[in-house]
């Protein structure tokens, strides 16, 4: 069996006494067989800003472990940039969505951050994190790497990392893709979660 967590985010990563990260809060998790690559779901689950697009849009790919790859990519982006990747009060435009802004900065050859007193080694690690995150947050699950590949990317040489296609903010930006449902926000404990209902 495998676990699909559905809620990888900073609040659910804890550190043990040796500062080793541990994933917590398996309330939204789903068990599924290793040989079953697609998981049937009736509603989107997770925290806004970390939810994979296939949980909302049925025709870009089935729900699989790649949903957690997407969430991990958003987590990497947030860690590298030291800022939230998505504002829950934003108007859902590309200007308010940090990964798209960061992608534009990288593709134009600009530094992502004013890094101050950061060593060259730290700059390389930040670049690896951001480049890996760009691959992890691709709209289509089939375009995202496996977690084994993510580990290789983070541990490998930064020169081997290529800039992926620009990640889309939503399905309207993707050519030839139709939305298959509507989003209904729900708020609890200061966080907004979303559920998908059929039209």
* Exposure of 164 in the CB half-sphere (CA atoms within 13 A): 22
Our CA dihedral for 172, 150, 11, 27, rounded to 10 degrees, sits at 80
pLDDT surpasses 50 at 94: no
- Interatomic CA distance for residues 48 and 118, integer angstroms: 31
What pLDDT does residue 17 have? 94
pTM, entire model: 0.74
- Interatomic CA distance for residues 124 and 101, integer angstroms: 20
CATH architecture of the domain with range 2-87+94-160: Orthogonal Bundle (1.10)
At 199 the three-state DSSP class reads coil
What pLDDT does residue 129 have? 92
pLDDT (tens digit per residue) in 135-194: 999 988 999 999 999 999 999 998 888 889 887 655 555 444 443 444 444 444 444 444
Least confident of 11-15, 25-29, 35-39, 65-69: 35-39
What pLDDT does residue 198 have? 40
Tell me if 191 sits within 8 A of 183, measured CB to CB.
no
What pLDDT does residue 132 have? 95
**What residues act catalytically?**
7
Both tokens of residue 129?
Answer: 């994190």
Both tokens of residue 184?
Answer: 């209904």
């Amino acid at each position: 069996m495998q676990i699909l967590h559905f809620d990888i985010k900073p609040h659910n990563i804890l550190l043990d006494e040796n500062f080793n990260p541990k994933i917590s809060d398996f309330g939204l998790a789903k068990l599924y067989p290793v040989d079953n690559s697609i998981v049937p779901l009736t509603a989107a689950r997770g925290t806004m800003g970390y939810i994979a697009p296939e949980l909302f849009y049925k025709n870009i790919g089935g729900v699989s472990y790649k949903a957690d790859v997407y969430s991990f990519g958003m987590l990497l982006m947030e860690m590298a940039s030291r800022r939230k990747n998505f504002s829950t009060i934003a108007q859902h435009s590309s200007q308010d969505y940090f990964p798209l802004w960061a992608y534009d900065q990288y593709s134009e050859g600009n530094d992502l951050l004013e890094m101050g007193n950061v060593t060259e080694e730290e700059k390389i690690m930040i670049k690896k994190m951001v480049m890996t995150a760009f691959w992890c947050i691709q709209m289509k699950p089939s375009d995202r790497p496996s977690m084994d590949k993510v580990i290789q990317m983070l541990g490998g040489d930064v020169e081997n990392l290529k800039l992926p296609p620009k990640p889309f903010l939503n399905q309207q930006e993707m050519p030839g893709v139709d939305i298959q449902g509507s989003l209904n926000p729900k708020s609890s404990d200061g966080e907004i979660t979303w559920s998908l209902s059929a039209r």
